[in-house]
Amino acid sequence: MRAILASGIVFGVGAASTLAAWTDREHATATFSAGSFGIEGATNGIDYAEHADAAGAAALDFTVAALELVPGQTVYAGFSVRTVAGSVAGTAQLSADDGNDAGLGAFLRYGVRTIGETNCDATTFAAGSEVVPTGSAPTTNSSTTQELAAAAGSIVTYCFAVTLPDSTGNEAQGQEAVPRWVVTAQSE
């Protein structure tokens, strides 16, 4: 009887141990989606739109009639870029088209600076940060990048100064150039 009673005690302890083992779980999940990146530009710093290809390029509005340049004259125009609403941050870099030296372009020289406002003229150009050195051939690309904050959080205004140098000879008369620049942006 003692053996039976002893086995019952051991059996009872084992059963109690099994009943007291509780379990619990923790689950984790996440949702992933790709961000988006895009830029848009404006020639006046106000009316932003996308200019995705050469056919839809924004026409720079130079301060003096760029259609009647004479030797020694410099004209200025600004082009502002920013990320689009909902975009992640990125960087922008200005490049010049290889064909910018055709026609009158063979004589033109230019420089680009970033300025802290959208009004591009001789004064704001002089105070800006150099992107393309003044006096460069119109096919010269920028070697620097500019930061673009996410969701239109910052604006980068490129101030262009295009000059027909004093030394330009008569062979430039009546010639024309249609230079093109591209701002290429990359997400960070």
- Cα angle 46-41-98, degrees, rounded to a multiple of 5: 145
The answer to whether 40 and 82 are in contact (CB under 8 A) is: yes
Q: Are 78 and 43 in contact (CB under 8 A)?
A: yes
Asked if residue 77 lies in contact with residue 60, where contact means CB atoms within 8 angstroms, the answer is yes
Average pLDDT over residues 102-116: 94
pLDDT of 15 over the 60 cut:
no
pLDDT at 51 over 60: yes
Q: Give the per-residue pLDDT at 69.
A: 87
Q: What is the mean pLDDT of the chain?
A: 85
Asked whether the whole model's pTM tops 0.85, one would answer: no
Question: What is the distance between the alpha carbons of residues 171 and 123, in angstroms, rounded to a whole number?
Answer: 31
Cα–Cα distance for residue pair 145/142, rounded to 1 Å? 8
Q: What share of the chain has pLDDT > 90, as a percent?
A: 56
